[in-house]
Chain A
């Protein structure tokens, strides 16, 4: 499994993508490079190829760390990670090649410190979170992960036919007049929808992924491997074909509604014919950034926290400390009960 680590041209230490500068940063010699500089500098990658007997694309595979040579087992969809032993960023380029290469990426805009701060703030005011969750160590466990998505661009063609009426009513003397005008209405044309988003990773937490949306899809960049350096990434395992029907239905419905909106100024409208259909659809594979933190509770339930790596939107499910909740229950119920008793006695 070919794996790649990007190295600093000056000192050979690993380079990571810096969300603050949107460039690349060497922690060792503190040099910073823009993307263009990196592209122009040859030999900044350290590649290592490991032919693994079992290793096949798309399955759990062994790879060797380009920096230290350690053999690491990666999960099926992991596309970028950190070496367990030497902590250098490792990009499993084999998983992002060919048809598996993403077209687009939204690089991390929110820095790790900002994410940590946002998380700390979110947790601070929650009294009913068990103490261990709030500890520093948990906060450190915030990981930046690129999740795979499908972006669909659709074109819907066709039209609507409808019968419509316009009714007016007025009074003249002792009579009320009602005028009804009958119309036949037709609309036809094309409706374009860009960047309909669909999750492309089976194992991802559906709620988490949907909770941190939306991403500003117009701000995508052309994909390039170095962006992943220093972060984790997951490659897709859901095919675009699986979404075809769903996308078509969604696009058709939107198109109908938009067309219907243009039939205005009538008192009643009745759709008599609908010939809208998905004419074209084009799926693009993209990686979007999410800061994630998972916490395994005492009973094994998983709690998560996600922060949109581009917009900063927060979504999460916090563990609840039932003992503390119990205290709340008592704190509310007992005074109420006493108050009621007192009221009974005194009133």
Chain B
């Protein structure tokens, strides 16, 4: 009996010894930096913790950073499981993001959950990974993590998403930064030319975050915010949802509608899917121009003045036909002329042709030189694929995210 009591008490002590650790592990909801791969120094880790804590408070989302060098799974699986296991995230949907640096697979991965899934779209994640890449490759992990945090702040802090301000071009807004140098200028000049000729306002907008708004709402708000003309159209390339939306206002609403609109949208989508966003914008402009032209021609052709002309012309032709008929109804008196040559009888008694004189003129006229040889004498919209891809983790919750090797 004493032996049993001794055994039990030993177990109890053992458990009690572990307890703080367990409790510490479970109760330590503040820790957000898990440097299992020992990539950071202690001071770096501590500074990082503070930074994350501040940032999370500022943005209202949960952020965490983890590194590992012992990962039998994929980076994605590990990241998702880690996130879920630690119960990260704020709000009922566990909004937050985790950066995982997986030294085993040599991958760095960003996992998102809750609202961060839509906030950090795939393209945004790609951008972040791009920004981090040089430092990751160089091994400067703390710098890479700093960049991560910075980027996240940049994206998340926009709430609601600020409409781009008028920059160098007043009709081309490359919010998503998908046009390369010189392209906006070309688009701008084309738009200016079209506006001058046709009197309609056009704009090309790209955005990488439209927040809670639909592409339609965003486009309309944008159009009004920029104070664009009464009649106009706006092409929005929503890189967030990877949507194309063409918003039309005023007369453009009837010009660019129905099958014409569908066709234009389809063409723009085709270009966007192929990755040619600039081409897509050009397509938008080149499809719109002839439509406007036709519509204006049609308006001209059916203006009241023209209609009067048509009426007058048709009546005239009708009258002509009637006159023709009336003429037919009166036989043309072909004015009988006496055929004197047939009926007349000529009896000549005298027929004299007397030769009087003759004269010959001579004129010098050399024949022309032979000609030298050879010489000689002329808004509907559609999606182009992507968005924020999501997957279900082992624990059953939904995560978004993206990663790459380094």
Contacts and interface: CB of A to CB of B under 8 A. Distances in A.
B333 A254 contact: no
B77 to A, nearest CB: 61
Given A259-B346, A340-B310, A341-B307, A197 B359 contact: no
A92 interface: no
25 contacts: A164-B353, A171-B365, A174-B365, A174-B366, A179-B358, A179-B361, A184-B352, A185-B354, A187-B351, A188-B349, A190-B349, A192-B344, A193-B338, A211-B331, A257-B340, A258-B344, A314-B331, A318-B330, A320-B329, A329-B321, A333-B318, A336-B314, A337-B311, A337-B313, A340-B313
A332 B335 contact: no
Nearest to B330: A317
Interface string B339-361: 01101111111111111111111
Interface in A168-185: 171, 174-185
Contact of B325 (A176, A211, A262, A328): A328
Scoring B311, B318, B356, B357 by chain A CB atoms within 10 A of each residue's CB, the highest score goes to: B318
Contacts of B357: 181-182
B302 A176 contact: no
B367 interface: yes
Interface in B297-326: 297-298, 301-302, 306-307, 310-311, 313-315, 317-319, 321-322, 325-326
B14 interface: no
Given A185-B353, A340-B313, A345-B302, A179 B322 contact: no
A176 B365 contact: yes
A316 interface: yes
Interface of A: 126, 128-129, 159, 164, 171, 174-197, 207, 210-211, 213-214, 250, 254-255, 257-259, 261-262, 314-318, 320, 325, 328-334, 336-337, 340-341, 343-345, 347
Contacts of A325: 322, 325-326
Given A191-B345, A329-B318, A332-B314, A180 B350 contact: no
Contacts of A128: 325, 329
Contact of A341 (B302, B333, B349): B302
A329 B320 CA distance: 9
Contacts of B329: 126, 128-129, 317-318, 320
Contact of B358 (A181, A192, A257): A181
A191 B355 CA distance: 26
A182 B358 contact: yes
Given A189-B348, A328-B318, 11 more contacts: A174-B367, A192-B347, A213-B336, A262-B346, A315-B331, A316-B331, A320-B325, A320-B329, A329-B319, A340-B313, A341-B302
A192 B355 CA distance: 30
A206 to B, nearest CB: 9
B345 A336 contact: no
A185 to B, nearest CB: 5
Nearest to A180: B359
Contacts of A333: 311, 314-315, 317-318
Contact of A189 (B311, B350, B362): B350
A164 B354 CA distance: 10
Scoring B310, B330, B343, B346 by chain A CB atoms within 10 A of each residue's CB, the highest score goes to: B346
Nearest to A126: B329
Nearest to B297: A347
A325 B325 CA distance: 9
B60 to A, nearest CB: 57
Contacts of B330: 316-318
Nearest to A331: B318
A183 B301 CA distance: 71
A337 B310 contact: yes
Given A195-B343, A337-B311, A179 B359 contact: yes
Contacts of A254: 338, 340, 344
A161 B345 CA distance: 20
B314 A337 contact: yes
Contact of B322 (A214, A314, A316, A329): A329
Contacts of B350: 159, 186-189
A184 B343 contact: no
Nearest to B363: A176
A318 B363 CA distance: 67
Which 10 pairs of residues, A with B, have the shortest CB-CB distance? Answer: A344-B301, A333-B318, A336-B314, A254-B340, A188-B350, A340-B310, A213-B336, A189-B348, A186-B352, A332-B318
Given A259-B346, A262-B348, A343-B301, A210 B333 contact: yes
Interface in B263-300: 297-298
B358 A330 contact: no
Contacts of B298: 344-345, 347
A190 B321 contact: no
Contacts of B363: 175-178
Contact of B362 (A177, A184, A262, A314): A177
A193 B331 contact: no
A261 B342 CA distance: 13
Contacts of A211: 331, 333-334
A184 B310 contact: no
Contacts of A315: 331, 333
B354 A334 contact: no
Interface in B360-377: 360-367
A181 B365 CA distance: 22
B340 A320 contact: no
Contacts of B306: 344
A327 to B, nearest CB: 10
A188 B347 CA distance: 8
A189 B348 CA distance: 4
Contacts of A178: 360-363
B158 to A, nearest CB: 48
Contacts of A341: 302, 307, 310
Nearest to A186: B352
A193 B344 CA distance: 5
Contacts of A332: 314, 317-318, 321-322
